[in-house]
Amino acid sequence: MLVHEGPSRNIRTDIRLGCTLAAVAGGVNVTGFLAFGAYAANMTGNLSAVATGLAPGGVMTVLCGLGLVAAFVAGAVVATLRLMAGCRRGVACMHARIILLEGVALMALGLVAGWLPAGPGAGVLGYGLSFLMGMQNATVTHISGARVRTTHMTGMLTDLGLELAQWMGNRTSPSPDVATRLRLHGAIIASFVLGGTAGALGYAFLGTRSLMGLGAVLIVLALPAIVRGAERA
For 216, phi then psi, to 5°, come to -65, -35
Helix (H, G, I), strand (E, B) or coil at 114: helix
Nearest to 106 by CA among 84, 72, 136, 71: 136
CA distance 137 to 152: 8
pTM for the full predicted model: 0.91
Predicted confidence at residue 50, as pLDDT, reads: 85
pLDDT score for 192: 96
pLDDT at position 76: 96
Q: What residue type is 43 in one-letter code? A: M
Decide if 183 contacts 160 (C-beta within 8 A): no
Q: What is the DSSP secondary-structure string of 28-92?
A: HHHHHHHHHSS-SS-HHHHHHHHHHHTSTT-HHHHHHHHHHHHHHHHHHHHHHHHHHHHHHHT-T
Is residue 137 within 8 Å of 44, Cβ to Cβ? no
Task: Write out pLDDT tens, residues 90-123.
Answer: 888 899 999 999 999 999 999 998 887 665 566 8
Contact 192, 23 (CB under 8 A): yes
Q: How far apart are CA 189 and CA 203, in angstroms?
A: 21
**Distance of alpha carbon 182 from its chain centroid, rounded?**
20
pLDDT digits (tens, 9 = 90+) for 116-153: 766 556 688 999 999 999 999 999 988 888 778 888 88
For the chain, residues with pLDDT lower than 50 are none
Between CA 193 and CA 94 the distance in angstroms is: 28
